[in-house]
Amino acid sequence: MSTTTMAKALNDGLRAAMERDPKVLIMGEDVGRLGGVFRITDGLQKDFGEQRVLDTPLSESGIIGAAIGLAVRGFRPVCEIQFDGFVFPGFDQIVSQLAKLRYRTQGAVPVPVVVRIPFGGGIGAVEHHSESPESLFAHVAGLKVVACATPADAHWMIQQAIACDDPVIFFEPKRRYWEKGTVDPDLGAAPPLHSARVVRPGSTLTIATYGPMVKTCLEAATAAAEDGQDLEVIDLRTLSPLDLGPVAESVRRTGRLVVVSEAPSESSITSEVAARIQQECFFSLEAPVLRVTGFDTPYPPSRLEDDYLPDLDRVLDAVDRSLAW
């Protein structure tokens, strides 16, 4: 058991995957000599060479499109997109080719590509650097979409994603990169990639969330405990396919659900969780499923992001509204 940052946990995970399988490549803008804009790939090019850690042309469609070709050739590319809002030039390749080649060829042409995307706000960045586009990818059949929230998950989930024969869109909460946590060196202790996890058991109300909001929701649960409320917090971890089993099981006990994400609310992961839980747990619910999300606006100028991003108070407000029902 070691204590480390999420950035280092990801770096170690990538290194372990590269050591395990010589077909694993890392590719993206600045991932080599610089080590990535967030230094997630720091030192990897030095140790694995320019042919396994590729500083690519500035070309997102190129990164994804070439990764697909490399995967067809038998490689397992891990692509880095520098920021969430920059993935859209590569969106066509992701949606049109990456997601569909396996289906189109009935399994004959698998494309085990991982696309790493640092996502979400809270770092005071300029436009296009703070978005949460995960719902756009979760809507596309053929892709698997996951989001890590802790160093331990970051470490193991990236290795599990690379080992997965499906294309995986891997969201990393960039404002949590430098927060520390413990990492168990035993893979057997890590949950499977596509599984939700109860990160704080409770009995009063269920909060389902993922990525950067897991920490916020845990803080809200700690604050609520001082008022005698025992909140259960579930980290979804996998956004497509959603692992709703633990959420449904929890809601059947608590009767109440608040879903939290910093992405806009319309047609989102939170919409999906809310819709399916009301369908599966209708007779268990004591209150409507409530959501706490970013607003249905473009991400605002950074001086306004404290208003845009759900915080502890907005989560607790929703908890109070649910309990008051």
Partner 1 sequence: MEEPQAWVPGDPRSRPSRDQVVAGLKGVDEGGVELVQLLTPEGERVHHEHFDRYTADVTLDDLKSLYRDLVLVRRADREGNSLQRHGELGIWVPLLGQEAAQVGSGRALRPSDMCFPSYREHGVAWTRGVDPTELLGIFRGTDHGSWDFAARRFHPYTIVIGNQCLNAAGYAMGQRFESKVGDRETGEATICYFGDGATSQGDVHEGFVWAAAYDAPLVFFCQNNQWAISVPLERQTRVPLYQRARGYGFPGVRVDGNDVLACLAVTRWALDECRTGNGPVLIEAFTYRMDSHTTSDDATRYRLADEVELWKLKDPIERVRVHLARRHGVEQEFFEAVDAEANELGERLRAFCRAMPQPGPERMFSEVYADASPQVDAQRAEYLAYHASFAGEEEQA
**Which residues does the annotation mark as catalytic?**
129
Identify which of residues 113 and 221 has a Cβ nearer to partner 1 in the complex: 113
Residue 36, burial from CB neighbour count under 10 angstroms (0-12, 13-18, 19+): buried
CB 9 within 8 A of CB 155: yes
Taking CB under 8 A as the criterion, the residue among 68, 115, 207, 236 binding partner 1 is 68
Contact status: 18 vs partner 1 (CB under 8 A): no
CB 151 within 8 A of CB 180: yes
Taking CB under 8 A as the criterion, the residue among 37, 88, 91, 92 binding partner 1 is 92
- What tokens appear for 121 in the block? 């706000």
Taking CB under 8 A as the criterion, the residue among 153, 172, 232, 243 binding partner 1 is 243
What is the rounded CA–CA span in Å between residue 63 and residue 26?
Answer: 10
DSSP 127-176: TTSS---HHHHHTSTT-EEEE--SHHHHHHHHHHHHH-SS-EEEEEEGGG
Contact status: 93 vs partner 1 (CB under 8 A): yes
Q: Which amino acid is at 106?
A: Q
Query: Least distance to partner 1 from the beta carbon of 135, Å?
Result: 15
Tell me which stretch binds partner 1 (CB under 8 A): 36-44, 211-219, 235-243, 281-289. Answer: 235-243
Tell me which stretch binds partner 1 (CB under 8 A): 3-11, 241-249, 280-288, 309-317. Answer: 241-249
Contact status: 101 vs partner 1 (CB under 8 A): yes
C-alpha closest to that of 111 among 157, 70, 81: 70
Greatest Cα-to-Cα distance within the chain, rounded to the nearest angstrom:
60
What letter does residue 89 receive in the DSSP assignment? G
Query: Least distance to partner 1 from the beta carbon of 77, Å?
Result: 8
Query: Least distance to partner 1 from the beta carbon of 39, Å?
Result: 24
Identify which of residues 17 and 290 has a Cβ nearer to partner 1 in the complex: 17
Contact status: 110 vs partner 1 (CB under 8 A): yes
Contact status: 201 vs partner 1 (CB under 8 A): no
Contact status: 277 vs partner 1 (CB under 8 A): no
Contact status: 303 vs partner 1 (CB under 8 A): no
Contact status: 267 vs partner 1 (CB under 8 A): no
Tell me which stretch binds partner 1 (CB under 8 A): 127-135, 176-184, 219-227, 240-248. Answer: 240-248
Asked whether the bond before 241 is cis by omega within 30 degrees of 0, the reply is yes
What is the rounded CA–CA span in Å between residue 84 and residue 169?
Answer: 11
What is the rounded CA–CA span in Å between residue 60 and residue 105?
Answer: 25
Contact status: 166 vs partner 1 (CB under 8 A): yes
What is the rounded CA–CA span in Å between residue 3 and residue 25?
Answer: 27
Compute the chain's Rg from CA coordinates: 19
Tell me which stretch binds partner 1 (CB under 8 A): 2-10, 93-101, 200-208, 226-234. Answer: 93-101
Contact status: 197 vs partner 1 (CB under 8 A): no
Q: Where do contacts with partner 1 occur on this chain (CB under 8 A)?
A: 51, 56-57, 59, 61-62, 64-75, 77, 89, 92-93, 96-97, 101-110, 141-142, 144, 164-166, 194, 241-243
